[in-house]
Structure 1
Amino acid sequence: MRIEKIRIKGFRNFDDAEIFLQPKTLIIGANDVGKTNLLYALRLLFDKSLNEHDLELTDSDYNAYSGAESIEITVTICGITEECLLSTFGGSIKDETTVIRYTNSKNGQYSIWIGYDETVLEEQSTRQYIKRLNMQCVDTNRDLFGFLKRERIQILRMAKERLDKEAKEADDVKTGEIQSKLNDINSQVSSLNYVASALESVNTELAQLSIHNEDQKVKFVAGESDAEKLLDNLILSYSSDQGPLAIGGDGRNNQIFLATWIAKQNIQKNIDHVTFFAVEEPEAHLHPHQQRKLSKYIQSNFNDQILITTHSPHIASKFEPDSIIRLHTVNKYTHVACGGCSQLLKAEFEKFGYRLNALSAEIFFSDGVFLVEGVSEVLFYTALAQEIGVDLDRLNISILAVEGVGFKPYVAICDALKIPWVLRTDNDIFSKPNKAPTKDYYAGISRIAGILSQIRNADEPINQYWQQHKDENEWGHQKSIPATAIALNDYFRAQATVYGLYVSDVDLEMDLAKSDLYDDLKAYYRKRTVTTLVKAMQTHKAQNMMSFLTSEHTKLGKIQGAEVCAPLLALKKTVEEGSHPAHD
């Protein structure tokens, strides 16, 4: 069985959201967007550790922005074939599906409802089903030693119960051998001169205090004198070739916690109940390679349904696209991109293909994305943002290079994930066909016309305008540019900015050479003309850009308000206002 979807109304960040899940589901989004609240909504229905008081909730659990007076959480469970669940839900299952709903209202009390669909729900007296169907969570506050203290006896007991008769008998023999060795060790400890001397006065005083102490002696023992108790109180250490080492590093502790927790779940599997799982931010304290490995490890070591929250692009880049839920905020309400786990996302990611890595996966967690052509643009706009007061980290904005002019897959991913974006591209004059060219054209406006046809309907005025005038964007090869082409270029570039599409006059280097940075650039590169300056800037572009910015970044304030700043400022405004751009 698995939870197919959950619908949340009026609960915390959520006004009314329907979210589809997969057997392995990754939940991503910015801080405080509602990832933990989504898991808690499921916990209200399935977590055995929540008591009656927890289920009643408080006024702060109701969505304040909508003024919600009631909460409704509805879960649809599909693929029910387990005997323990079939007997528990009985007539509330149809076509292997059942629906469970939690309701509550201010000044009221919670109720649980169950039925084979939402039209036939019947109220239940308790969550009696959690004996057979429940949820286990690992939250962000992982305490390895506290966990082991609570769970080690149970883990050892369950492992012991799984042994066959022969293995149990072998263990009994070994336990006897351990007891014998413990007796020898403690006898030798007691015979040590300094140990005996240390306790001689203590035993003398005990005898004087009470006659009952005369035949009893206090001894030092090596931790424990009873083998059974010793084995019940084993402590965990990290073993290396040099012997056992103390466990201390936060990253390793996190790995050991998760490995031990997963092992416990696998040991205690039982046909009498079904459990699904949730893990919050498994990447804590781990470096990128281990984050990626942990992502694959968790996915491959759980046969049961598991939900994971993360802030890690490294984990996200290793998840199946149709198993990712992205939460985002619009007008203070939490929304779900594509309704949660979606075939639409899968289709777009398949087009995205090889481009997905930890760098591009950063956009999953962004509130705004600025798409540029290459590394030199990333360097320039990162420095420019700092100098003109656009705090990229505070605004959660990412600047991402598409490494060329292939913007379309990135745009499609951003739109699917409901992430606001802008882009800036060059507007070089290209020739066609490649062999024996006969015509020239503005490549930039042709490129954004293709993007506009992807993100807007064909009957949109700007798309209709392009179809009517696109022939004006071509002229004879190496001929002077006609006035009609120049007019189309100017008009189309201006209109495209409404949709977050920005086109250079020529390219970034030429735009900067014609800006108020001209004198500073000439002095730095030691060039006298625009042509030689641009050529120098375009040689080893990223390296030269980095060198210039390292020593001259404070000069960027001179171009504040110039056209080159426009996409950055437009995206800043969109993110601050929490509104959707025109292309959404």
Structure 2
Amino acid sequence: MRLSKVEISNHSRIQDLNLALRRHAVIVGANDVGKSSILRMLNLLLGTSTSGLYQALKPSDLRDREQPLVVNALWTDLTEENRRPFPSEISIGDDHVTEYLWVQMRVEADSEDEETVTIRRWFPESGHERTPNREQLEEFGWRYLRATRGASIMDGAHSPVRTLLAAADLGSNEEGLTALLDQFNEKLAGNESVSELLDRVATHLSRSMPRTVSQDDFSVRSVTDPSSDVLQDVTIFLNRGDDQVSLTEQSDGVRQLMSMTLFDLAEGTANVLAIDEPEIHLHPTSQRTAADLLSGDGNQKIIVTHSPYILHRFEPSEVVAVDRHGRCHQVGEAKLSKIEKVRAHWWSPRLLEALTARFVILVEGDADRVIVTAVAENLGIDLDRLGAVVVELDGADKFRNVFPLLGPDGFGPTLLGLVDQNESGSWVNAFKGKRHTVVDKKVFISDVDLEDEYTRALSGPIAAKALVDGGFCREQGILQAAGVATLDEITPEAIAQFCRDKGKVDAASCIAEALTPERAGKIGSVTRLLRILDDLSQQ
């Protein structure tokens, strides 16, 4: 069984969401936008006891105290084994064929006590109001690795080791192992030293307890109950030479990798693995390795991450981008085929920042990015503060691959584009509006290109001196190329052509160093773009 749909409404830190969970789900976004809260609410719905719910949920979790906080999850792809614990809870879809399991949690502020809530967790279409029992919660197979995990990650009833061993089938050996445990407990209980120890315990406790206790009130036995689980007290060790080292004694990174690996192996007992920041403690190489593991087939993964290496290993259809207002964006079903066609061309680690930005400025290449960033700095426009990121496309023709991913039919940040005049047609047309509603509002066109604009802004001689001072070229070399005797005679057109011929990026870096607020303001297309960006940020 797998989660196919999640809905959350009226949560204090999460905008109302309705997500389609495809094979996996990767949630990305800036800090403090509610990503981890999504995992927390799912963990409360699917993996927490009733008593745990009342300990975890407070009236402050409700955005509007007059309305309930509601969390819905829809399970599909049920197997015969999945159906057994849910004899009256599974529903049939409108097509009279599809099966699904709907579980809901409803949290309301207590009308008589402002510090408490009432919680109802149930199956809305079951015909009864019983809360999910322990067996049903176990069948969900929800496992959650928090971002605040430490050495205890390998311990506990729902640890990766316990989860993996729970899936082991001992076959005919189980009866023999049970007999050995019974024999061990009998020998232990009959040991004279143990009996004397219990007598001392009873005598000591009788002094502080309201009633007298005796040796017969106690027993000593293995914590493993042979009648239920002979592997209950078994764990896994790493062999290091002649020593056996507990997994809890490994480094943070090793424990992290081991926990994800073991959970991934435990299909059936770990149907859904939720991980908050799987990249914690991992070197980038290990992040890529872990991402290969997590993105494969097997149990379903719901991941919150800031790692571009992990994002890159998942399909665009599996990504949920949370914007700065806490709103979730994912590619709609109708647009998935179009997105998949461009995925191979433009699905890279550098897209993570663009997916989570408020504004994305698309430019043709690195040289344009250098100039845009420098002009913004000189005009006093802080791109980071505005939530804007500049993405270079490695050529104007790549725009057609990126626009479906980041445009209104994709993840939908506000897009602004800077492009040379000769390449501008396809950029303008992509926004599907009248030219006057796109040019200098969404697409900003350099005349004729950015090299022409910034050399005119500085003047030929000043631009030439900036290239020489920056070590881009020698004075004699640029004079010879321009066919003049002194720098004062060099025209902007000659310098622009020199920059194109000898290296746009290095030239742009030298020009950026020579910019002043006055000169930056004369680079028309970039200035117009940044002024519009600044205006949009105020809205």
SS of alignment partner, residue 31 of structure 2: coil
The alpha carbon displacement at 1:115 in A equals: 4.1
Q: Which residue in 1 is equivalent to 2:149?
A: 142
Q: Distance in 2 between matches of 1:517 and 1:58?
A: 64
Q: Distance in 1 between matches of 2:18 and 2:497?
A: 54
Give 2:405's match in structure 1, choosing from 413, 422, 430.
413
User: Aligned pair in 2 of structure 1 residues 567, 243: CA closer, same or farther (>3 Å)?
Assistant: farther
The one-character-per-residue Cα deviations of 1:501-552 (angstroms, maximum 9, x if unpaired) are: 10012111110111146553132235422222112221233443355157x2
Percent identity between the two aligned chains:
20
User: Aligned pair in 2 of structure 1 residues 572, 356: CA closer, same or farther (>3 Å)?
Assistant: farther
Once the two structures are superposed, the pairs formed by residues 566-577 of structure 1 within 5 Å of their partners are 566-574=528-536, 576-577=537-538
The answer on whether the counterparts of 2:358 and 2:413 sit within 8 Å (CA) in structure 1 is: yes
The answer on whether the counterparts of 1:43 and 1:135 sit within 8 Å (CA) in structure 2 is: yes
Q: Distance in 2 between matches of 1:384 and 1:102?
A: 51
Q: Does 1:496 align with 2:439?
A: yes
The answer on whether the counterparts of 1:48 and 1:134 sit within 8 Å (CA) in structure 2 is: no
The alpha carbon displacement at 1:11 in A equals: 1.4
The one-character-per-residue Cα deviations of 1:186-242 (angstroms, maximum 9, x if unpaired) are: xxxxxxxxxxxxxxxxxxxxxxxxxxxxxxxxxxxxxxxxxx9xxx79885685999
Give 1:299's match in structure 2, choosing from 284, 295, 308.
295
User: Aligned pair in 2 of structure 1 residues 449, 152: CA closer, same or farther (>3 Å)?
Assistant: closer
Give 2:79's match in structure 1, choosing from 78, 81, 91.
81
List 4+ stretches of structure 1 deviating above 6 A.
Answer: 166-169, 232-235, 240-248
The alpha carbon displacement at 1:367 in A equals: 2.3
Q: Distance in 2 between matches of 1:10 and 1:417?
A: 23
Q: Distance in 2 between matches of 1:52 and 1:308?
A: 23
- Specify every segment of 5 or more residues in structure 1 that has no aligned partner in the other structure, as ranges: 173-227, 428-442, 464-491, 580-584
Q: Which residue in 1 is equivalent to 2:309?
A: 314
User: Aligned pair in 2 of structure 1 residues 148, 360: CA closer, same or farther (>3 Å)?
Assistant: closer
Q: Which has the higher helix share?
A: 1
Q: Distance in 1 between matches of 2:401 and 2:161?
A: 52
The one-character-per-residue Cα deviations of 1:144-186 (angstroms, maximum 9, x if unpaired) are: x3233545984797598737649989xx9xxxxxxxxxxxxxx
- Specify every segment of 5 or more residues in structure 2 that has no aligned partner in the other structure, as ranges: 93-97, 112-117, 181-223, 225-232, 468-474, 476-486
The one-character-per-residue Cα deviations of 1:234-287 (angstroms, maximum 9, x if unpaired) are: 885685999989966544443234234445x35xx45xxx74221111112333
Find the structure with the greater CA-based Rg. 1
The one-character-per-residue Cα deviations of 1:37-86 (angstroms, maximum 9, x if unpaired) are: 2222222321135634437722221126xx76221222222222333434
TM-score, normalized by length of structure 2? 0.72
Q: Which residue in 2 is equivalent to 1:364?
A: 355
Once the two structures are superposed, the pairs formed by residues 413-432 of structure 1 within 5 Å of their partners are 413-415=405-407, 416-427=410-421
Q: Which residue in 2 is equivalent to 1:511?
A: 453
User: Aligned pair in 2 of structure 1 residues 147, 164: CA closer, same or farther (>3 Å)?
Assistant: farther
Q: Distance in 1 between matches of 2:160 and 2:19?
A: 36
Q: Which residue in 2 is equivalent to 1:334?
A: 327
Q: Distance in 2 between matches of 1:147 and 1:446?
A: 55
SS of alignment partner, residue 571 of structure 1: helix
Q: Which residue in 1 is equivalent to 2:496?
A: 534
TM-score, normalized by length of structure 1? 0.67
User: Aligned pair in 2 of structure 1 residues 557, 235: CA closer, same or farther (>3 Å)?
Assistant: farther
SS of alignment partner, residue 273 of structure 2: strand
Q: Which residue in 1 is equivalent to 2:101?
A: 98
Give 2:392's match in structure 1, choosing from 385, 401, 422.
401
Once the two structures are superposed, the pairs formed by residues 31-430 of structure 1 within 5 Å of their partners are 31-48=31-48, 51-54=51-54, 57-63=57-63, 69-90=67-88, 92-94=90-92, 95-107=98-110, 109-116=118-125, 122=127, 124-128=129-133, 129-143=136-150, 145-150=151-156, 154=162, 162=170, 165=173, 239=240, 250-263=252-265, 265-266=266-267, 269=268, 275-300=271-296, 303-329=298-324, 332=325, 334-338=327-331, 342=333, 344-406=335-397, 407-415=399-407, 416-427=410-421
The alpha carbon displacement at 1:388 in A equals: 3.0
The answer on whether the counterparts of 1:373 and 1:403 sit within 8 Å (CA) in structure 2 is: yes
Q: Which residue in 2 is equivalent to 1:11?
A: 11
Amino acid at match of 1:384: V
Q: Distance in 2 between matches of 1:240 and 1:425?
A: 62
Once the two structures are superposed, the pairs formed by residues 407-486 of structure 1 within 5 Å of their partners are 407-415=399-407, 416-427=410-421, 443-451=422-430, 455-456=431-432, 460=433, 462=434
Give 2:520's match in structure 1, choosing from 540, 559, 564.
559
User: Aligned pair in 2 of structure 1 residues 259, 77: CA closer, same or farther (>3 Å)?
Assistant: closer
User: Aligned pair in 2 of structure 1 residues 334, 531: CA closer, same or farther (>3 Å)?
Assistant: closer
Q: Distance in 2 between matches of 1:235 and 1:113?
A: 37
- Number of matched pairs: 447
Q: Distance in 1 between matches of 2:77 and 2:402?
A: 35
User: Aligned pair in 2 of structure 1 residues 568, 315: CA closer, same or farther (>3 Å)?
Assistant: farther
Q: Distance in 2 between matches of 1:107 and 1:72?
A: 15
Q: Distance in 2 between matches of 1:397 and 1:422?
A: 10
Worse overlay, 50-59 or 278-287: 50-59
